[in-house]
Structure 1
Amino acid sequence: MAWRSQLGKTALASAAVLLTMTVGACSRPATQSTADTAGSGPVRIAVGIDASYAPFFVADKKGLFKDAGLNVQLVQFGRGGEAVDALATGQVQIAGSSDTTTIQQLQQNPSLRAMYAYEASGRYIKVVLRNGVESAAEVKTMGIVPGLSQISTNKYLEANGVSPDSVKMVTATPNDMPALLGRGDIDGYVMWEPWPAAALSQGTGHVVARTGDFDWFYHHWAITTQPWLSANDATARKVAQVLDKATQLVESDPKLAATATESAVNVAQDQTVTAVDEIDFAVENLAPGDIDAAQSVVDFYRKIGVMTVQPDLKSTMLVDWYKKSAQ
């Protein structure tokens, strides 16, 4: 795929937008049980509340997990870091997460493992500026979510000749961004949908760029932990095969993806149809070049002091794992 060569030129990134509640319920994720750790309980998969998680919603709606003999529960999280923390505590066993979020958590949880990628795009994440602010040179304050949003913001500013150190960064949740923009508390943000669309619908901001415009591409990983994977390898491979089928369905039938996503997370169908056009959905192996790309994310985190040690990326990123499972 085209994005694979593009990622070789830039740091690998992807988004994981996540909210703590089980799909179809309003409770927090259940606590870990001994049975879950042993693999006899349901497989809880952390997903997000936007259209980029459409393959999971399609797999659930179409009964693909059940057809594969899997007992799967989708669990939503509002921030990627929360989903990764839930992996560490056993509240979920697999998560859809950005490489930036996963890498950031490696210092606290070196047992995290990235099994494969299932999507990438240089069009889905957009730069939104407040009405009246037309360029990066005019920006004084940016809203950021730690992880993908933060590094994407830095990439945008640097690509336009603006030092990130000269801009005040306001940390907030994705939900907060449109309101902060509307009040004039921030001049902009770099976020995935539906947050750019929210600013447009409220009439408070406008899209000035997409990450691909400044050679920056995000990538979603399916991640787990080494202890769970060692005990449940066959289950993890079945999940990968189901997700492979689901990504193909998303690409071939955007309307199906839109219906499933609306049912799961109440995202307007037209937003999902647009997202399918903007995102390349496909289950793909991680390759050696992806490790090099991920290293640039590590370098960024070490530069800003978020990470103090070099993680073992070769252990974290399971190169060619899915190809072996499919043969």
Structure 2
Amino acid sequence: MPPCERRSRAPLAASGTALVLSLTACTGASTVDDGVEGASAAGSGSLSAGYVGSIDQLGLPIAAETGTFEDHGLDVTLAAPFPTGVDAINALEAGDVDVIQVGVPGLAALDSGVDLVIVGHYSGSAAQRNVDDTMSLVAVEDADIDPEDLTTLEGRTIATSLGTINHLYLLALLEEEGVDPEDVDLVNTAPPDMPVALETGGADAAVAWDPWPLTVTDQVEGAWEVVRGGGYLPYVGYVMTTPEYLAGNGETVRAFLTARAESDQWIRHHPEDAADSATRWLTGTDPDIARAAMEHNLAQLDGRFSACNYLALDTVSRLLSEQGVTGADIDVDSVVDPSFVLAVQEDHPELFDDLPEVPDSARITPDHTFDRAADEEACAV
């Protein structure tokens, strides 16, 4: 694996969070293992891609590992996994990668004026409003939290990562269950630090995306899962690039998204094999935790575009604005280009035939214009 190249970047801050873009990017490496077939095969198009080292983003390296990119005539170079979406964004801005997978930090970057365009999804749902199966709230044994009465969260100390999707999930859960966020004590905690926080008494409970809730229950004696998913929030995960790259490489992006859709379907059909792959791409991942996390991830592995996705983006944007993470709601139409994924859906319907049907009312065309009231009605499920 080639050494990391350190680049200095001017910080781009999002108020109220740790979303400050200062990057150390590692590029030119295909995987944590050397010589994985399919990571850099000769083809009719080439690009470099970045992703965050997490279970829900593994469709990208798995497409390299299985030779799927090569099958679609692509020469894809993968950057070494980024620790956060913020790092991935900086790599894209610096020109170290052409395409990235990123979640909530991408929306904060758009709000801060970074010129990006959403061309696809690595996680979410085109068939329903909310999907959050990969999210969980876990607690220590003596926290005295009743899963049948979540108002018992009042007065508890909860570890979460402020300004991230797990923070938004917790807020949505509290609102749905009638708990005032002021009545809980939120402790800003990075997911890898959550097991220690619960084990040492720094928190009664923690909220995060997999694999961290599973890691907590595995490592902290007596810790248990209070809530898994629940449909409180639309989980979002995007494939982003720059307008400049997209303008000159539309066919390559389309082929890339076709390969990604094929990889996602392979994962849905082979979750145990995908979990085994996770232990190779995510160093130190426990095989049992990888298998459990992959099963939870399957419901969100939907790369299609519909009115539901526009609604999800706007919903998460509004939540970020309410929390002071972003300054205003994002103009959804100005940051989304669904045409490439819609073309993949039309040309390769077999890659999505194992997913829930998109409601007829939620189907869109490339010139779709977002209207919250209309899209709420279209995506009523």
Q: TM-score, normalised by structure 1?
A: 0.80
Q: Does 1:77 align with 2:82?
A: yes
Q: Does 1:210 align with 2:228?
A: yes
Match of 1:323 in 2: 342
Query: Could you tell me how far apart the structure 2 residues matched to 1:282 and 1:173 are?
Result: 24
| Superposition map of 1:184-263 within 5 A | 184-204=201-221, 205-212=223-230, 214-263=231-280
Q: Relative to 1, partners in 2 of residues 1:171 and 1:81: Cα closer, same or farther, differing over 3 Å?
A: farther
Q: Of 303, 307, 310, which aligns to 1:288?
A: 307
Q: By how many angstroms is 1:148 displaced?
A: 0.6
Q: Does 1:52 align with 2:56?
A: yes
Match of 2:18 in 1: none
Query: Could you tell me how far apart the structure 1 residues matched to 2:111 and 2:258 are?
Result: 30
Query: Could you tell me how far apart the structure 2 residues matched to 1:220 and 1:53 are?
Result: 8
Q: By how many angstroms is 1:23 displaced?
A: 5.0
Contact in 1 for aligned 2:195/2:220 (Cα 8 Å): no
Q: Relative to 1, partners in 2 of residues 1:280 and 1:320: Cα closer, same or farther, differing over 3 Å?
A: farther
| Superposition map of 1:170-181 within 5 A | 170-181=187-198
Query: Could you tell me how far apart the structure 2 residues matched to 1:125 and 1:160 are?
Result: 16
Task: Render the CA deviation track for 1:137-192: whole Å, top value 9, x for unaligned.
Answer: 24134332532112112112222322223433332322112112211222222111
Match of 2:40 in 1: none
Q: By how many angstroms is 1:20 displaced?
A: 5.8
Query: Which structure has the highest helix share of the two?
Result: 1
Q: By how many angstroms is 1:320 displaced?
A: 4.2
Greater Rg by CA: 2
Query: Which structure has the highest strand share of the two?
Result: 1
Query: Could you tell me how far apart the structure 2 residues matched to 1:169 and 1:42 are?
Result: 45
Q: Relative to 1, partners in 2 of residues 1:202 and 1:313: Cα closer, same or farther, differing over 3 Å?
A: same
Count of residue correspondences:
294
| Superposition map of 1:122-161 within 5 A | 122-133=132-143, 134=145, 135-161=152-178
Contact in 2 for aligned 1:110/1:316 (Cα 8 Å): no
Match of 1:309 in 2: 328
Q: By how many angstroms is 1:42 displaced?
A: 5.8
Q: Relative to 1, partners in 2 of residues 1:25 and 1:123: Cα closer, same or farther, differing over 3 Å?
A: closer
Match of 2:99 in 1: 94
Query: Could you tell me how far apart the structure 2 residues matched to 1:82 and 1:167 are?
Result: 31
Deviation >4 Å, runs of 4+: 19-23
Query: Could you tell me how far apart the structure 2 residues matched to 1:183 and 1:24 are?
Result: 35
Match of 2:352 in 1: none
Contact in 2 for aligned 1:156/1:211 (Cα 8 Å): no
- Shifted more, 70-79 versus 281-290: the winner is 281-290
Query: Could you tell me how far apart the structure 2 residues matched to 1:201 and 1:25 are?
Result: 25
Q: Of 315, 318, 329, which aligns to 1:299?
A: 318
Query: Could you tell me how far apart the structure 2 residues matched to 1:65 and 1:247 are?
Result: 12
Match of 1:273 in 2: 291
Q: Of 64, 67, 70, which aligns to 1:63?
A: 67
% same residue: 21
Q: Does 1:164 align with 2:176?
A: no
Q: TM-score, normalised by structure 2?
A: 0.69
Contact in 1 for aligned 2:121/2:239 (Cα 8 Å): yes
Contact in 2 for aligned 1:288/1:319 (Cα 8 Å): no
Query: Could you tell me how far apart the structure 2 residues matched to 1:123 and 1:292 are?
Result: 18
Q: Which amino acid aligns with 2:238?
A: W
Q: By how many angstroms is 1:199 displaced?
A: 0.9
Match of 2:376 in 1: none
Q: By how many angstroms is 1:245 displaced?
A: 1.0
Query: Could you tell me how far apart the structure 2 residues matched to 1:140 and 1:244 are?
Result: 40
Q: Structure 1 stretches of 5 or more lacking a match? A: 1-18, 27-39
Contact in 1 for aligned 2:52/2:88 (Cα 8 Å): no
* Greater RCO (CA < 8 Å, at least 6 residues apart): 1
Query: Could you tell me how far apart the structure 2 residues matched to 1:180 and 1:67 are?
Result: 45
Query: Could you tell me how far apart the structure 1 residues matched to 2:275 and 2:229 are?
Result: 24
Alignment RMSD, CA only?
2.7
Q: Which amino acid aligns with 2:217?
A: L
